[in-house]
Amino acid sequence: MKERVLVLNADYQAIGVVHAERAFILVYLRKAEIVDDFPDLCLRSATKTFKYPAVIRLFRYVNTPYRKVALTRANIFRRDDNKCVYCGSPHQLTIDHVVPRSAGGSDSWENLVTACRSCNTKKGNRTPEESGMTMLRKPCRPSYIMFLTANSGSSPKQWHPYLMR
Protein backbone atom coordinates (compact mmCIF):
# COMPACT_ATOMS: atom_id res chain seq x y z
CA MET A 1 0.00 0.00 0.00
CA LYS A 2 2.37 2.65 -1.23
CA GLU A 3 -0.15 4.89 -3.02
CA ARG A 4 -1.11 8.26 -1.60
CA VAL A 5 -4.73 9.30 -1.15
CA LEU A 6 -6.19 12.81 -1.31
CA VAL A 7 -8.38 13.66 1.70
CA LEU A 8 -11.33 15.99 1.18
CA ASN A 9 -13.26 17.76 3.88
CA ALA A 10 -17.04 17.28 4.07
CA ASP A 11 -17.40 20.26 1.68
CA TYR A 12 -15.10 18.58 -0.92
CA GLN A 13 -12.22 20.98 -0.15
CA ALA A 14 -8.82 19.25 -0.29
CA ILE A 15 -7.20 19.24 3.15
CA GLY A 16 -4.40 16.70 3.00
CA VAL A 17 -2.71 13.60 1.66
CA VAL A 18 -2.43 10.29 3.54
CA HIS A 19 -1.16 6.81 2.77
CA ALA A 20 -3.70 4.34 1.38
CA GLU A 21 -3.55 2.31 4.59
CA ARG A 22 -4.77 5.28 6.68
CA ALA A 23 -7.42 6.14 4.08
CA PHE A 24 -8.77 2.59 4.07
CA ILE A 25 -9.01 2.61 7.88
CA LEU A 26 -11.01 5.87 7.77
CA VAL A 27 -13.37 4.33 5.21
CA TYR A 28 -13.65 1.03 7.09
CA LEU A 29 -14.47 2.86 10.34
CA ARG A 30 -17.16 4.83 8.44
CA LYS A 31 -15.48 8.18 9.03
CA ALA A 32 -15.02 8.73 5.30
CA GLU A 33 -16.25 7.55 1.94
CA ILE A 34 -14.36 6.70 -1.24
CA VAL A 35 -15.04 9.41 -3.82
CA ASP A 36 -12.69 8.03 -6.47
CA ASP A 37 -10.52 4.93 -6.65
CA PHE A 38 -7.67 3.39 -8.60
CA PRO A 39 -9.60 1.06 -10.94
CA ASP A 40 -6.68 -1.27 -11.62
CA LEU A 41 -5.80 -1.75 -7.93
CA CYS A 42 -7.66 -3.42 -5.08
CA LEU A 43 -7.18 -4.35 -1.45
CA ARG A 44 -7.70 -7.96 -0.46
CA SER A 45 -8.29 -9.75 2.80
CA ALA A 46 -8.67 -13.50 3.22
CA THR A 47 -12.34 -13.34 2.24
CA LYS A 48 -13.06 -9.88 0.72
CA THR A 49 -11.89 -7.52 -1.97
CA PHE A 50 -12.10 -3.72 -1.50
CA LYS A 51 -11.68 -0.72 -3.78
CA TYR A 52 -8.26 0.95 -3.57
CA PRO A 53 -8.99 4.61 -2.64
CA ALA A 54 -7.54 7.52 -4.61
CA VAL A 55 -9.74 10.26 -3.10
CA ILE A 56 -11.75 10.06 0.13
CA ARG A 57 -14.20 12.52 1.70
CA LEU A 58 -14.66 12.87 5.44
CA PHE A 59 -18.27 12.67 6.65
CA ARG A 60 -17.75 15.29 9.37
CA TYR A 61 -16.41 18.74 8.58
CA VAL A 62 -12.96 19.33 10.06
CA ASN A 63 -12.19 22.95 10.85
CA THR A 64 -8.69 23.51 9.47
CA PRO A 65 -6.80 26.71 10.23
CA TYR A 66 -5.52 28.70 7.29
CA ARG A 67 -2.05 27.40 6.53
CA LYS A 68 0.49 29.67 4.97
CA VAL A 69 3.29 28.50 2.72
CA ALA A 70 6.64 29.72 4.07
CA LEU A 71 8.35 32.33 1.93
CA THR A 72 11.65 30.58 1.18
CA ARG A 73 14.00 30.44 -1.78
CA ALA A 74 13.09 26.80 -2.46
CA ASN A 75 9.36 27.56 -2.35
CA ILE A 76 9.74 30.46 -4.79
CA PHE A 77 11.58 28.14 -7.20
CA ARG A 78 8.87 25.50 -6.70
CA ARG A 79 6.05 28.01 -7.32
CA ASP A 80 7.73 29.17 -10.55
CA ASP A 81 8.27 25.55 -11.67
CA ASN A 82 12.08 25.95 -11.48
CA LYS A 83 12.08 28.18 -14.57
CA CYS A 84 12.95 31.81 -15.21
CA VAL A 85 9.76 33.92 -15.31
CA TYR A 86 11.29 36.11 -18.04
CA CYS A 87 12.66 33.58 -20.56
CA GLY A 88 11.65 30.13 -19.23
CA SER A 89 15.21 28.84 -18.82
CA PRO A 90 15.80 26.23 -16.10
CA HIS A 91 19.55 27.03 -15.82
CA GLN A 92 21.50 29.19 -13.32
CA LEU A 93 18.43 30.29 -11.37
CA THR A 94 18.44 33.17 -8.90
CA ILE A 95 15.83 35.19 -7.02
CA ASP A 96 14.80 38.56 -8.47
CA HIS A 97 12.84 41.40 -6.89
CA VAL A 98 10.24 42.58 -9.44
CA VAL A 99 10.30 46.02 -7.83
CA PRO A 100 13.91 46.44 -6.62
CA ARG A 101 14.54 46.89 -2.90
CA SER A 102 16.13 50.25 -3.64
CA ALA A 103 12.77 51.39 -5.07
CA GLY A 104 10.83 50.17 -2.04
CA GLY A 105 10.24 46.57 -3.17
CA SER A 106 9.52 44.12 -0.39
CA ASP A 107 10.34 40.49 0.23
CA SER A 108 6.89 39.08 -0.56
CA TRP A 109 5.31 36.39 -2.73
CA GLU A 110 4.09 39.05 -5.14
CA ASN A 111 7.51 40.73 -5.51
CA LEU A 112 9.94 37.79 -5.62
CA VAL A 113 10.36 35.64 -8.74
CA THR A 114 12.71 33.05 -10.16
CA ALA A 115 15.06 34.47 -12.79
CA CYS A 116 18.04 33.05 -14.63
CA ARG A 117 21.34 34.81 -14.06
CA SER A 118 21.38 36.49 -17.49
CA CYS A 119 17.80 37.86 -17.21
CA ASN A 120 18.47 39.04 -13.65
CA THR A 121 21.60 40.86 -14.85
CA LYS A 122 19.77 42.33 -17.87
CA LYS A 123 16.92 43.59 -15.66
CA GLY A 124 19.36 45.04 -13.15
CA ASN A 125 18.07 47.52 -10.59
CA ARG A 126 14.92 48.33 -12.59
CA THR A 127 11.36 47.11 -12.89
CA PRO A 128 10.52 44.75 -15.77
CA GLU A 129 8.74 47.60 -17.59
CA GLU A 130 11.75 49.90 -17.26
CA SER A 131 14.06 47.21 -18.63
CA GLY A 132 11.69 46.22 -21.47
CA MET A 133 11.12 42.70 -20.16
CA THR A 134 7.85 40.84 -19.76
CA MET A 135 7.04 38.09 -17.28
CA LEU A 136 5.65 34.78 -18.54
CA ARG A 137 3.47 34.53 -15.40
CA LYS A 138 2.54 36.95 -12.67
CA PRO A 139 3.87 36.12 -9.19
CA CYS A 140 1.25 35.28 -6.56
CA ARG A 141 0.94 33.70 -3.13
CA PRO A 142 0.57 29.92 -3.60
CA SER A 143 -2.09 27.90 -1.84
CA TYR A 144 -1.18 25.34 0.79
CA ILE A 145 -2.80 22.46 -1.09
CA MET A 146 -0.79 23.33 -4.22
CA PHE A 147 2.42 22.88 -2.24
CA LEU A 148 1.12 19.81 -0.46
CA THR A 149 0.56 18.00 -3.74
CA ALA A 150 3.75 19.36 -5.31
CA ASN A 151 5.81 18.03 -2.41
CA SER A 152 4.18 14.60 -2.53
CA GLY A 153 5.27 13.98 -6.12
CA SER A 154 3.12 13.89 -9.22
CA SER A 155 -0.57 13.77 -8.43
CA PRO A 156 -2.83 11.07 -9.87
CA LYS A 157 -5.42 12.13 -12.45
CA GLN A 158 -8.20 11.25 -9.99
CA TRP A 159 -7.07 14.19 -7.81
CA HIS A 160 -7.21 16.91 -10.46
CA PRO A 161 -10.93 17.84 -10.25
CA TYR A 162 -10.55 18.45 -6.49
CA LEU A 163 -7.29 20.42 -6.63
CA MET A 164 -8.64 23.06 -9.03
CA ARG A 165 -11.18 24.38 -6.51
**What proportion of the chain, given as a percentage, has pLDDT over 90?**
48
Considering only residues 95 and 162, tell me which one the structure prediction assigns the higher pLDDT.
95
Q: What is the mean pLDDT of residues 136-153?
A: 74
* pLDDT at residue 164, as a whole number: 60
Considering only residues 134 and 152, tell me which one the structure prediction assigns the higher pLDDT.
134
Q: What span, in angstroms and rounded, lies between the C-alpha atoms of 86 and 81?
A: 13
pLDDT, one tens digit per residue, over 3-59 is: 888 999 999 888 888 898 999 999 999 999 999 988 888 888 899 888 889 999 999
Closest CA to 126 of 101, 93, 158: 101
* pLDDT at residue 154, as a whole number: 66
CATH class of the domain defined by 73-131: mainly alpha
Convert 6-18 to b/e letters by CB count within 10 Å (16 or more is b). bbbbeeeebbbbb
Q: What span, in angstroms and rounded, lies between the C-alpha atoms of 105 and 97?
A: 7
* pLDDT at residue 1, as a whole number: 59
DSSP letter for 69, please.
P
* pLDDT at residue 99, as a whole number: 93
* pLDDT at residue 150, as a whole number: 62
Going by DSSP bridges, is the β-strand pair 14-19/32-44 parallel, antiparallel, or unpaired? Answer: unpaired
152: pLDDT strictly greater than 80: no
Please report, for the chain, the start and end positions of each structural domain, with discontinuous segments joined by +.
Answer: 4-65+144-163, 73-131
148: pLDDT strictly greater than 70: no
Q: What span, in angstroms and rounded, lies between the C-alpha atoms of 81 and 76?
A: 9
Closest CA to 56 of 31, 32, 22, 40: 32
Q: What span, in angstroms and rounded, lies between the C-alpha atoms of 82 and 89?
A: 8
SS3 50: strand
pLDDT, one tens digit per residue, over 66-88 is: 777 889 998 899 888 899 999 99
SS3 60: coil
pLDDT, one tens digit per residue, over 122-135 is: 998 999 999 999 99
SS3 141: coil
Q: What span, in angstroms and rounded, lies between the C-alpha atoms of 71 and 130?
A: 26
Work out the mean pLDDT of the chain and round it to a whole number.
87
